[in-house]
Amino acid sequence: MRWILGTRVDATSYEDAAQQIVEWARRAESRYVCAANVHMLMEAHDDASFRETVNRAALVTPDGMPLVWVMRLLGVKSQQRVYGPELTLRVARAASEQGIAVGLYGGAPHTLDRLARNLKQQFPRLKIAHAFSPPFRSLTIEEDAQATEEIIRSGARILFVGLGCPKQERWMAARQGRLPAVMLGVGAAFDIHAGEKPQAPTWMRSAGLEWLFRLASEPRRLWRRYVYHNPRFVILVLLQLLRKKNRS
């Protein structure tokens, strides 16, 4: 585990993360998992309540390459990326092999349908016990209670949540203790695995340039996030590393 700008990021791997998630799910433990990137860490830096939400998670994986690089500079020399879309597939495969029911929460109805179909095509034994596409507005108290009850009745022990950051992290934290499931905030994984958004080439992901690919794909929606957050992240991390060096 390392602290980056006050937010916890865990030293883990795909294998360790998937194994831990499955173990929690088999015990029907109510936990949530965050896949952290620069956007999430900067949201956490700017909002103390959101930072606490992320820090309370059972597991925070280094989803973005910049976080991997910082983890290595902070002493976790062997740290690799644990990317939300890939972790989704690793966990789905493990769930299918061990007979653990999963659920899907988030995305538009057509996205959810395609996602479920594609996952079943890749993992024929995967039991998708629940799928719900919430409206863009906030649910009423009655609607939320009904949605929660439907997840519980479904028997899903792993719930993939695709609401986007920071909404999905807040949603999961608010339901810890209410759902007997491990909730994974996987954001763009829904659109990627539904085949509705392109994924950056492997070389761009490895080089930490996925943000550039996504910006080019959705400039109107994402320009502010990257133009505002990325330079600040670099400066603040350099200051953190400099302070660490001066103390040593």
Q: Tokens for 221, please give them.
A: 């929606």
pLDDT in tens, 86-112: 999 999 999 999 999 999 999 999 999
Pairing of strands 128-132, 158-162: unpaired
Q: Among the residues of the chain, which ranges form H helices?
A: 14-26, 38-46, 48-55, 65-73, 84-98, 109-122, 141-154, 167-175, 189-193, 202-206, 210-217, 219-247
Residues 101, 155 contacting (CB under 8 angstroms): yes
Q: Please work out, in degrees rounded to the nearest 5, the angle formed at the alpha carbon of residue 34 by the alpha carbons of 28 and 36.
A: 165
Is 87 in a helix, a strand, or coil? helix
| Tally of CB atoms within 10 A around 26 | 15
* Residue 37 zone, left/alpha/beta (φ > 0; ψ -120 to 50; rest): beta
Predicted TM-score (pTM) of this structure: 0.93
Residues 80, 67 contacting (CB under 8 angstroms): no
Measured CA to CA, the distance from residue 172 to residue 183 in angstroms comes to 6
Residues 19, 91 contacting (CB under 8 angstroms): no
Residues 16, 23 contacting (CB under 8 angstroms): no
Q: How far is it between the farthest Cα atoms of the chain?
A: 55
pLDDT-flagged residues of the chain (< 50): none
Q: pLDDT value at position 114? A: 97
Q: pLDDT value at position 59? A: 98
pLDDT in tens, 35-48: 999 999 999 999 99
Measured CA to CA, the distance from residue 130 to residue 153 in angstroms comes to 9
Q: pLDDT value at position 118? A: 98
Question: In the beta sheet, which residues pair with residue 103?
Answer: 130, 159
